[in-house]
Amino acid sequence: MIKTKLAVFASGTGSNYDAIVEAIRTNQLDAELTILVCDNPNAKVIEKAKANGTPMFVFDPKQYVDKAMFETKIVEVLQEASVDLVILAGYMRLVGPTLLQHFEDRMINIHPSLLPAFPGLDAIGQAFDAGVKVSGVTIHFVDQGMDTGKIIAQEAVKIEENMTREALQQAIQKVEHHLYPQTIQQLISRGE
């Protein structure tokens, strides 16, 4: 069987990248991670990908005239690697039309809140400051908006009385690390 080829996009720590690599290694996710795309040459995730031997495309957006230029390059890289599904995992950038038109319905994102609540940056801090009693994790298809695409999966996290912001972050990350590989596997099994 030919495996589904994934590209993971990350800009930072890469704990979701780690979770996906681990799920593939332990056969919980039947896919091949063909490339890591990273827009931050100083990101921690690069060290992890080096250690794992994941092929990488690392770029500095400042070296390109505009978003259309670097997204054109990304499309080339993804097509060369025959990528089937793009997994945004902490890619801190709004995807533009150049990339979207090639991967619409084949690009998903993870967001640390129950969308449509708390889109955008620091969703965990937003939920914490709002004093809500429940937040969580959303996985959704990517469209041109900020965290607005069709929702695929959600899991709630209860915010206990006296819970610190750090504890909430840990609880949300714990959910992310099982929900993302599991949802990717479901999409693959359904042939989406």
The position carrying tokens 């800009």 is 11
What's the min distance (Å) between Cβ of 17 and ligand GRF? 6
Query: Residue 76 phi/psi, 5° resolution?
Result: -60, -50
With CB under 6 A as the contact rule, which of the stretches 6-14, 51-59, 73-81, 125-133 interacts with ligand GRF?
6-14
Q: Is 39 an interacting residue with respect to ligand GRF (CB under 6 A)?
A: no
| Options 15, 52, 98, 182; binder of ligand GRF; rule CB under 6 A | 15
Q: Is 96 an interacting residue with respect to ligand GRF (CB under 6 A)?
A: no
137 by DSSP, 3-state: which? strand
Partners of residue 7 on adjacent β-strands:
35, 86
Any known ligand binding at 6? no
Please state, in angstroms and as integers, the Cα–Cα distance from residue 62 to each residue in 17, 24, 72, 94, 154, following that order. 24, 33, 15, 15, 35
Instruction: Check 111, 140, 177, 178 and give the catalytic one.
Output: 111
The per-residue DSSP string of 126-137 comes to HHHHHT-SEEEE
What's the min distance (Å) between Cβ of 185 and ligand GRF? 18
The residue type at 81: A
| Options 110, 115, 142, 184; binder of ligand GRF; rule CB under 6 A | 110
Residue whose CB is less far from ligand GRF, 13 or 148: 13
What's the min distance (Å) between Cβ of 2 and ligand GRF? 27
| Options 33, 112, 114, 142; binder of ligand GRF; rule CB under 6 A | 112
Query: Residue 56 phi/psi, 5° resolution?
Result: -135, 150
Question: Does the annotation count 140 as an active-site position?
Answer: no
With CB under 6 A as the contact rule, which of the stretches 34-42, 61-69, 97-105, 110-118 interacts with ligand GRF?
110-118
Partners of residue 141 on adjacent β-strands:
108
Q: Whose CA is closest to 37, among 21, 15, 14, 19? A: 14
Q: Whose CA is closest to 57, among 68, 72, 46? A: 46
User: Binding site membership: which residues?
Assistant: 14-16, 67, 92-95, 109
Residue positions annotated with a catalytic role: 111
Site of interaction with ligand GRF (CB under 6 A): 10, 12-16, 89-90, 110-112, 176
